Amino acid sequence: MNQSDIMFDYKHIWHPYSSMTNPLPCYSVISAKGVYLKLNNGKKIIDGMSSWWSAIHGYNHPILNKALKKQIKKMSHVMFGSITHPAAVALARKLIDLTPKELDCVFFSDSGSVAIEVAMKMLIQYWYSLGQRRKFFLTIRHGYHGDTFAAMSISDPKNSIHKIYNNFLPKHFFSDPPMSSFHDKWNENDLISFQEIIEKNSLKIAGVILEPIVQGVGGMKFYHPIYLKKIKCLCDYYSIPLIFDEIATGFGRTGKLFAFEHANVVPDILCLGKAITGGTITLAATISSSHIAKTISNSKIGCFMHGPTYMGNPLACAAANANIKILQKNKWKIQVSNIEQQLCKDLLPLINHHNVNNVRILGAIGVVECMRLINIALIQKFFVNNGVWIRPFKKLIYIVPPYIIDTKQLSVLTNSIKKALDNASFFL
């Protein structure tokens, strides 16, 4: 890739959440291996993002590659309508095995946002099957569930700029987010807003949807497990199904295989994505209880009306099967716990830094919340020069490194964050 390719990209290609006329600079990556991204100029940098929470075992993993190659020799894809194949069956078996026993019907789709759409459609159809027309969802502010319309409609109204899409977006119920953070003392008042809304509107609400414990893009906040427990009790009391969006947190990131295990509660529908294929290829899953699935299926309509062209893609399923195998073999729990300990040691002391407002660690997630908005282009250039890949947003510098990262490599990441904080020009 040469300079003219980069110029072409600049002029003709949209990147995530960016402008076509004034985009952030893009770095050209030509290959990746383990925790390293190799840039155009030959420089290798340590990845602190796992390509947005997905490449948990690092890049170019021989076992993942082998699984993909083995599958490609059989078939890359085959339609899933009236056809099944061994990779999908093996993966559904594994997912049902890994998740609580209540969750036992799997719907495969191609991205996290679609997994959310599917979960929401399931609940609307669930109520329809019961003779009720419920179309409202209840969630908490500062959430993020994806960029398609229904997913956006339940994401934080400010972050996803609902006002632009005013007449297109359905209006749902948003409660105040909990204030008690994961390690704080639980404050019962956190529940008031949610409780009021659910009490008043329980007969209108088709489902409650939340990111359990970790609110990701909406602010990288970790809330108290008791909040989740109480929400579950309220949902049970009003017989409203509960959807957990574990697209970011699933597969060990928070120190538990699924974040909801911190609170010991089980949802009626679980959405998985991102790390499911170890960062190799896009895939998502919506796993529901058989109660939901049977209610939909035993109704007059009988079918669930969704079916992506690439549903259950064999390559993606093969990668996911291999990913779960590596997860178990690699002892993810020890990997994540080691990362957590080092993040605590390296990052928690930064709380006293004059540019830092808060530092939060949970599992293999490290968050440094700064006092002021960050100049992303400048700080990113600094990070790359320091040999690391970190992509902050708003006031947040955060890392979600691959689980295979070693102590030294992780120190390079945390030291770069430390150094960056001393540079006043990075803060607006």
Residues making up the annotated binding site are: 52, 112-113, 144, 245, 274, 307-309, 391
Q: Considering 36, 128, 144, 398, which one is annotated as catalytic?
A: 144
**Residue positions in the annotated binding site for substrate?**
52, 144, 274, 307, 391
Helix (H) or strand (E) holding 207: strand 205-210
Q: Which window, 110-118, 132-140, 260-268, 317-325, contacts ligand PLP (CB under 6 A)?
A: 110-118
Q: Does 146 bind ligand PLP (CB under 6 A)?
A: yes
113 or 139: whose CB is closer to ligand PLP? 113
CB-side exposure of 303: number of CA atoms within 13 Å? Answer: 4
Cα Rg of the chain, angstroms: 22
**Residue positions in the annotated binding site for pyridoxal 5'-phosphate?**
112-113, 245, 308-309
Q: Does 145 bind ligand PLP (CB under 6 A)?
A: yes
Asked if 368 and 421 touch (Cβ cutoff 8 Å), the reply is yes
152 or 421: whose CB is closer to ligand PLP? 152
Rounded least distance, CB 79 to ligand PLP, Å: 22
129 or 172: whose CB is closer to ligand PLP? 172
User: Would you call 245 a catalytic residue per the annotation?
Assistant: yes
Q: Considering 190, 245, 268, 346, which one is annotated as catalytic?
A: 245
111 or 355: whose CB is closer to ligand PLP? 111
Distance CA 128, CA 340 (A): 45
Candidates 51, 113, 288, 414: give the one binding ligand PLP (CB under 6 A).
113
Among 413, 356, 363, CA closest to 390: 413
Helix (H) or strand (E) holding 345: helix 332-347
Q: Which residue is nearest to ligand PLP (CB)?
A: 112
Rounded least distance, CB 244 to ligand PLP, Å: 10
Q: Does 112 bind ligand PLP (CB under 6 A)?
A: yes
Asked if 68 and 318 touch (Cβ cutoff 8 Å), the reply is yes
Distance CA 167, CA 370 (A): 35
Q: Does 211 bind ligand PLP (CB under 6 A)?
A: yes
56 or 384: whose CB is closer to ligand PLP? 56
User: Would you call 144 a catalytic residue per the annotation?
Assistant: yes
Using CB under 6 A, which residues numbered 44 to 103 contact ligand PLP?
Answer: none
Q: Does 144 bind ligand PLP (CB under 6 A)?
A: yes
CB atoms within 10 A of CB 64: 26
Q: Does 247 bind ligand PLP (CB under 6 A)?
A: yes
* CA terminus-to-terminus distance, the chain: 33
Q: Considering 274, 395, 398, 403, which one is annotated as catalytic?
A: 274
Candidates 34, 48, 177, 273: give the one binding ligand PLP (CB under 6 A).
273
Q: Is 31 exposed, middle or buried (0-12, 13-18, 19+ CB in 10 A)?
A: exposed
Rounded to the nearest angstrom, the gap between the alpha carbon of residue 70 and the centroid of all alpha carbons in its chain is: 28
Asked if 247 and 222 touch (Cβ cutoff 8 Å), the reply is no
118 or 420: whose CB is closer to ligand PLP? 118
Q: Does 340 bind ligand PLP (CB under 6 A)?
A: no
144 or 426: whose CB is closer to ligand PLP? 144
Give the count of residues interacting with ligand PLP (CB under 6 A): 14
Rounded least distance, CB 316 to ligand PLP, Å: 12
Q: Is 325 exposed, middle or buried (0-12, 13-18, 19+ CB in 10 A)?
A: middle
Exposure class string for 341-370: b at 16+ Cβ within 10 A, else e: ebbeebbeebeeeebbebbbbbbbbbbbbb
User: Would you call 274 a catalytic residue per the annotation?
Assistant: yes
CB atoms within 10 A of CB 323: 28
Candidates 177, 212, 216, 392: give the one binding ligand PLP (CB under 6 A).
216
Helix (H) or strand (E) holding 208: strand 205-210
User: Would you call 126 a catalytic residue per the annotation?
Assistant: no
* Contact residues: ligand PLP, CB under 6 A: 111-113, 116, 144-146, 211, 216, 245, 247-248, 273-274
Catalogue the active-site residues.
Answer: 17, 144, 245, 274
